[in-house]
Structure 1
């Protein structure tokens, strides 16, 4: 067993004992196919987030800024890649097939990620990366960020199973939960499991809990992301604040706190403009900044 893994497991055991509670995982699926009641909950959430408007989008341009917590960066340096992932500009083409590109920046320089159904490419300061773990980590992150941004829309298609699970309180909000199994999962995973927590009152997605089977070093782990400070832009209700923590193997370990700092839609982007070592043409301009000071109280809860 690798020394780093031994230290990780020892720390996990210590923190679990100090916390005095076991990790909350994801309930197993009990059947294949979509349960009608679970599908209705998901559909209602998608409509509350602006499904009709979302289906009119060709492309989305976003920017993020955030902070990593130090402990997880030491355990997962390839996944976190903190020297390059402090802020990012991202471009997502939605029509036909999802096509995502990310331009990350940090003290180490720049990192360009191109993610499509054909595979994953990564460039550090213009130089192509070929390391298997680097590519798998980048694919996991790229697909994860698409999932976090698009929320319930991400789960409307492609579920191997979808069923109701136990209700839960998420940040003082009463939520109904549904469990989804997807094959393939996100990143280079053959299969991943997800638990979505949907606000019983306004039907917004408040949390997603997920496995991370697409990277060898995160297999068996479970993380979750909470969504805050929703903002309606172009008829779609987007989260603009995100907080990630681990559930397993170290319950409650903080991972990442980040903000959506810019978003605009329908520039008319094409794949060629975001498929290179840098954004070109209509993709080059930074995402339009979000004024966070006027977030509506009704959506900010």
Structure 2
């Protein structure tokens, strides 16, 4: 057996673990396959005969490829305007095989996918490699081009974001969560009277500029989203039959909802509740604001 054949055999044996690493970092079965293919091309072109720890080398190469892919993904989304049809290419790629994406979501857990998608690339890579795959901080530092201490801090920040608020909820928070869930169900079912009953008479709905930029005015059929829609009846009519894809979530410890597209957190629904009624709903799509939020399913 030649050196090239031995290298290919070892890579094949390591492939299941490497694919799990790529899937956890990228959150997409299709993207992880692309990352493994690119990684193998890099490894095949390199001289692996002098590498003492092949498995460690494979992990390093795959993680670097994934890290670069995360950064490119972010740059593409920032460079293209919301009106540019190419702005959805990066997301659409991960939906080319919906069956595989569904299996991946079940394996990782939709809650963890939401949380990981909110992490900056370096935090995401450091957290996943260390906390899930026990990769040493010295190796993570080499992958990210940071010091071991910086890599430790990145993983720690990612860990804090993922853990989020305490799992223990007081009675008031649980009641507010029930209100939000009931509101979302009434919205999906088109139950106007139920929506109205859950809203404060002076309830308001507003959205940030990023929601408008992604076509929010057309979807919600209102050009007053940024200025604010006022009154329970107007808010109820705006939500009637909509929010079908909104998933209940805790946002910075408070009950709310999120909308994801192809595994990416795109919109956070923040609710303010007063007197056992929903007083305000704010739709947030600004990427920096989403990145700063701790989202927990």
Same fold, TM exceeding 0.5? no
Structure holding more helix per residue: 2
Higher relative contact order (CA 8 A, sep 6+): 1
Superposition TM-score, scaled by structure 1 size? 0.22
Superposition TM-score, scaled by structure 2 size? 0.22
Structure holding more strand per residue: 1
